Structure 1
């Protein structure tokens, strides 16, 4: 026995070594098996230059998966606020809000929010109105000017300042409609403009080219057949013309976004069948638009109803608000230009004392029918997209609200 402890290990006899002693391991080679895959390397290759480390919390890519192509971002994580808000099938304009997350109470909540936004906008519109008064008066007798203006507004005696303030309030209906639908239904405001998801400017231009000649002939024939009772221009006629050009297109758009866009989509979401959505939304739109002008005269109400009915059908037929906005804007601009240039400004606004006649109703209805027929025809020629269609298999779960990065 060796005098040392532990005893040395004989390299030629490792089996005889004590059980606790380290045994040197000799590499063993085996013959390759035919058809077997190449051996897997036991080491990791160095990370190529330019690669970023995997973010914390991400699972490693499973074996056999190819790396993501350059430029690909990770898919957005679905959440209860964004998942499934958009329609999961083809929808007409009045049914744009009938997605998987539709609830019967959402239109009511959207109406409440739209009212809050519109009232807040009316309050904020006082600020530019006050600034308008300061510029117009130069600061002289400013309190008296304010008192006169609010008295005129209450009695529908609209001058340049009142026209400015009234237009601001109607323009505010655009964000009121879009934001209320976005916040409550989780559908982006661009789908209030059209089923294509945005305002189609080229289609609007085409509509204007069609309807402008119709209203030029309409206003021109009216001026030839019947002169306005008051032939005097308003004192601020130059400023009024500027306001008409700058603000009236947006004022007309504001009315269309609410009375056609918001009403058709919210009321239409209550009906499962597209035809019922169109009928229900159109009835509410016609009644609300006619009543909002404040005239009890049956011929005035009938003219407003024909106008609203035409705009509702155009919105449904073209899948968006562009055609209705074109008709509304051209009608208002032409009417305002006529009464400012040739007299009759005090009768330009519909109120409780406005009176109509069967003859005027017949002419208004004829003009609406002609414009409606021409735009319907042009929509077919232009192959306008009239229904919403999901982009692909994942469209039903695509986020309807922007996800913060």
Structure 2
């Protein structure tokens, strides 16, 4: 056997692997939202990525809702009940899972369409910084607790008598799955969509504007709300968390905000025996929603300002120059 041929073959294979590794590597020295940017804008590919992301989410939600209805039929769960209305524990749990699917799905889409590792959606360091998440939760969660107390005291919601089994299962699903639901939306919107839209811009400022505008529009649109006050809240949340993600170089603080708000809002609603059937109705304008969301909006904006000030000297975090 000719050893020279073996050596040449090994060299070609090594070069090919090195080329693939470079093609799939996260670009060094770039900001979070510019990771997918290149010489070409690839607008068609970006639109496909967004369609796949949102379509995959709705497909998962609809698929899981069918499964939830089947499960309710098997165990004999009534269609409606005091407190929860038509929202059965199974529908609540599987609906949260449908949103949580966005987390791995966003990573798959990014890897498939752009060749960039899914782990890069965590942060510019391609890892999730749990220390940063913990610090953010220790500050943000108490603020939302206070806001929930004040809001429910000033604007008490309609209460009703819950069926105990419903109460226990919906509470359990909220505590276990709501954080995953919130994280899924952040990875999908402030992660993938933010990056995809930002890659359409030539310069960093245009990229940032496009990333924030498109991700905010998609985030608001897929909530399908008819209340304009809620759309204002979605806009404030989307813009603030996108800015935070950009400046901090990762998704962790945005996840902390979304998890704390969603989870605590539901926990307080359940603890106060709120009528969820009426509370989850987003089809009509409700001035009470606008008043109740002033506090959370201020907390989110204040967090963005603090992150900006803390990174003023260093600028936004960038991907490491060396792995």
Q: Same fold (TM over 0.5)?
A: yes
What does residue 7 of structure 2 align with? 58
Q: Alignment partner for residue 167 of structure 1, among 89, 96, 102?
A: 96
Q: Deviations over 1:163-206 (max 9, x none)?
A: 01211211111122111110010001011121111211221111
Change (3 A) 1:184 1:354: same
Instruction: Verify the 8 A CA contact 2:248 2:311 in the aligned structure 1.
Output: yes
User: Is 1:299 paired with 2:299?
Assistant: no
Change (3 A) 1:304 1:102: closer
Q: Alignment partner for residue 125 of structure 1, among 31, 50, 64?
A: 64
What does residue 368 of structure 1 align with? 300
Instruction: Give the C-alpha shift of residue 159 in structure 1.
Output: 2.4
Question: Matched residue of 2:287: which SS?
Answer: coil
Instruction: Verify the 8 A CA contact 2:32 2:123 in the aligned structure 1.
Output: yes
Q: 1: distance between equivalents of 2:213 and 2:196?
A: 13
Q: Radius of gyration: which is bigger?
A: 1
What does residue 158 of structure 1 align with? 87
Give TM-score, length-normalised by structure 2. Answer: 0.83
What does residue 227 of structure 1 align with? 156
Instruction: Give the C-alpha shift of residue 262 in structure 1.
Output: 1.3
Q: Deviations over 1:303-334 (max 9, x none)?
A: 22111111111111111111111000000111
Question: Matched residue of 2:226: which SS?
Answer: coil
Instruction: Give the C-alpha shift of residue 78 in structure 1.
Output: 4.2
Instruction: Give the C-alpha shift of residue 364 in structure 1.
Output: 3.2
Give TM-score, length-normalised by structure 1. Answer: 0.67
Q: Alignment partner for residue 93 of structure 1, among 32, 39, 56?
A: 32
Instruction: Verify the 8 A CA contact 1:94 1:268 in the aligned structure 2.
Output: yes
Instruction: Give the C-alpha shift of residue 75 in structure 1.
Output: 4.5
What does residue 66 of structure 1 align with? none
What does residue 396 of structure 1 align with? none
What does residue 193 of structure 2 align with? 263
Whose helix fraction is larger, Structure 1's or Structure 2's? Answer: 2
User: Is 1:332 paired with 2:262?
Assistant: yes
Instruction: Verify the 8 A CA contact 2:61 2:95 in the aligned structure 1.
Output: no
Change (3 A) 1:59 1:363: closer
Q: Structure 1: which 5+ runs fail to align?
A: 1-52, 61-73, 150-155, 393-405
Q: Which of 367-376 and 288-297 deviates more?
A: 367-376
Alignment RMSD (CA, Å): 3.3
Change (3 A) 1:288 1:341: same
Question: Matched residue of 2:184: which SS?
Answer: helix
